[in-house]
């Protein structure tokens, strides 16, 4: 009879230790919510105000922006309908070179859009 009591106590003790060890593991693991919040913060867009201003001052540019997101430098240029494909390509190349000069170690991608269509794209690795 005493053996059964001791055995039962041993099993209860063993289960308690196992449960507390499992809770300890969970406490040390990062919560999914925290990870998601951190990823959203790192995915934030960082605008290059100086280059954005330069792009917007160009003749034939309706709107433009230079920014960094997810470790890539981007240039987005929206052009007036009167801007030719050749001029669009020149603008995209100009700002791709400017971005690459400023951000040497990251990928650069510049797109020029006219009338809702991509008319020029330049990428530097």
What does the pLDDT look like over 13-49, one tens digit per residue? 556 656 554 444 455 555 555 444 343 445 788 999 9
- 7-21, 70-84, 96-110: which range is least confident on average? 7-21
Contact yes or no for 101/75 (Cβ under 8 A):
no
Distance CA 118, CA 85 (A): 10
Instruction: Identify any residues that bridge with 107 across adjacent strands, giving them in sequence order.
Output: 72
Distance CA 116, CA 63 (A): 13
In this structure, what token pair is assigned to residue 51?
A: 């280059």
User: 40: how many CB neighbours lie within 10 A of its CB?
Assistant: 9
Q: How far apart are the first and last CA of the chain?
A: 77
What residue spans define the domains of the chain? 2-42, 46-124
Q: Which CATH number applies to 46-124: 3.60.20.10, 3.40.50.2300, 3.40.50.2000, 3.30.300.250?
A: 3.30.300.250
The reply to whether the predicted model has a pTM over 0.75 is no
Question: Residue range 93-114: average pLDDT?
Answer: 92
- For 81, residues 6+ apart whose C-beta sits below 8 A from its C-beta are 114, 115
């Amino acid at each position: 009879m005493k053996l059964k009591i001791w055995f039962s106590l041993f099993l209860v003790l063993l289960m308690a230790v196992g449960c507390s060890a499992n809770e300890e593991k969970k406490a040390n693991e990062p919560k999914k919510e925290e990870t998601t919040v951190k990823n959203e913060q790192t995915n934030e867009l960082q605008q290059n105000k100086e280059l954005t201003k330069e792009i917007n001052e160009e003749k034939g540019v309706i709107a433009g922006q230079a920014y960094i997101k997810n470790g890539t430098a981007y240039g987005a240029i929206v052009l007036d309908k009167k801007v030719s494909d050749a001029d669009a390509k020149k603008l995209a190349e100009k700002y791709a070179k400017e971005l690459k000069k400023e951000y040497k170690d990251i990928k650069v991608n510049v797109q020029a859009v006219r009338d809702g269509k991509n008319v020029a794209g330049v990428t530097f690795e």
